[in-house]
Amino acid sequence: MKDFLLSTQKYILYFVTGVQLVLATVWIVLRKPSIADVLIGIVSITAVTALVLFLSKRASNRAMIVAALVYFVTMPVVLDTAVSKGHIAGLPAAPEASIEELMVQRFVWPRFFEMTDFSEYDFASEGLALSVTASPELLYTDYFPLMRENLSSEALAHEYKERVSFSFSSYKKAMAKEMTSEFGAYFFSPVSLVKESFSHLETTNLYARNYETFSDNSPVLSKIYMRFGCISFLFLILLGMLTALVNKEVKVKRVVLSILCIGVITLYNLFFPVRGFDYKNTVITLLIYAPVIFRSMREHN
């Protein structure tokens, strides 16, 4: 049983890596990248591959390690994040925000319109308030800059604290439900990615907006590529867990450390990026999950 699982896991990894590499190559070609981007990509991949080969030169499973590396690099979520440099569609690459502004986007945004009083202390028009309620990134591009122009930092801090306090007192249950749902989505990101890859066309969240950019040049190929990458990753994770359990190679300390790391990253994703599940915020979490794919094979060898 052990040998069967190990062989199955290894050859499935080789197969999905080959398929995904082809899909990734075609996707990149259809995006028509610049020569500079292509050269940078080739140099980066060559350097990383050479480093892995050097570090694993004494390992009997070198081919499997290289396959796992190529598989992870060519995952649609990872590749698109690298190509876009982590940029979320419609949002500045590195918005500068105060703690109060971060609290507003985390706790006030879903009910932004109904909590805007359009008074002398709130300079947002009804049209802007409606737009911000539909698109949270507009908080950073339109609303916060407008408020900074018209109010002092002390007045702004007071205004934002009042809104956050009111939101806490009036919408406790709704906020708890939202945060629990988002925490689960990021913590179990391999499952969430599969779910979102089949529902993003019917939603208006950040996943859908980034996916729209991702699939601009080749909608059909992009859909196949995204779904294949997400499903195969989850399948390999589950197969790796099964193999580790059968081989009795589950290390409790390693599992606890991984859970803690994923928990910390998930908490960061809840507060600092624009709220809502976005696949570009899952890359580090996926990197922590990824060793499950080949850990049991490496230890067996």
Task: Provide the 8-state DSSP code for 203.
Answer: -
Sequence-distant (6+) residues with CB within 8 A of 174 are 110
Nearest CA among 103, 22, 66, 96 for reference residue 294: 66
Region 92-116: what's the mean pLDDT? Answer: 69
Q: Specify whether the CB–CB gap between 221 and 206 falls below 8 A.
A: no
pLDDT tier at 93 (50, 70, 90 boundaries)?
Answer: very low
DSSP 94: S
Residue with tokens 């080949």: 294
The percent helix, strand, coil of the chain (3-state, each to 5) is 75, 0, 25
Q: How far from the centroid of its chain's Cα atoms is residue 48's Cα?
A: 22
Residue 86 has pLDDT above 90, yes or no: no
Distance of CA 294 to the CA centre of its chain: 22
Q: Where are the domains of the chain?
A: 2-90+178-300, 99-172
Residue range 250-275: average pLDDT?
A: 82
Query: 141, 91 in Cβ contact below 8 A?
Result: yes
pLDDT band at 233 (very low <50, low <70, confident <90, very high): very high
d(C-alpha 173, C-alpha 275), whole Å: 18
Q: Which residue has the tokens 């989505």?
A: 185
Say if residue 268's pLDDT is above 80: yes
Q: Is the pLDDT of residue 202 over 50?
A: no
300 token code pair: 């067996």
Residue 118: left if φ>0, alpha if ψ -120 to 50, beta else—which one?
left
The residues, any chain, with a CB within 8 Å of residue 279's CB and separated by 6 or more, are: 77, 80, 81, 193, 196, 207, 210, 211
Task: Please give the pLDDT value at position 264.
Answer: 92
Q: pLDDT of 284-301, one tens digit each?
A: 899 888 887 766 555 444
- Span 136-186, pLDDT tens digits: 777 777 778 888 887 788 888 887 888 788 888 778 888 888 888 889 989
pLDDT confidence of residue 232: 93
Q: Which two tokens stand for residue 168?
A: 């806490």
Q: What is the pLDDT of residue 260?
A: 93
Question: Residue 248: pLDDT above 90?
Answer: no
| Residue 298 structure tokens | 């490496």
Block residue for tokens 């529902």: 199
Lowest mean pLDDT among 52-61, 130-139, 272-281: 52-61
Q: Hey, is 135 helix, strand or coil?
A: coil
3-7, 255-259, 276-280: segment of lowest average pLDDT? 3-7
Q: For residue 120, what are its two tokens?
A: 């002398």
**Could you give the count of Cα atoms lying within 13 Å of 71 in the half-sphere of its Cβ?**
31
Task: Pick the more confident residue, 186 or 210.
Answer: 186
Dihedral through CA 286, CA 292, CA 297, CA 298, nearest 10? 70
Question: d(Cα 298, Cα 233) in Å, to the nearest integer?
Answer: 18
Q: Count the Cβ atoms, other than its own, within 10 Å of residue 171.
A: 17
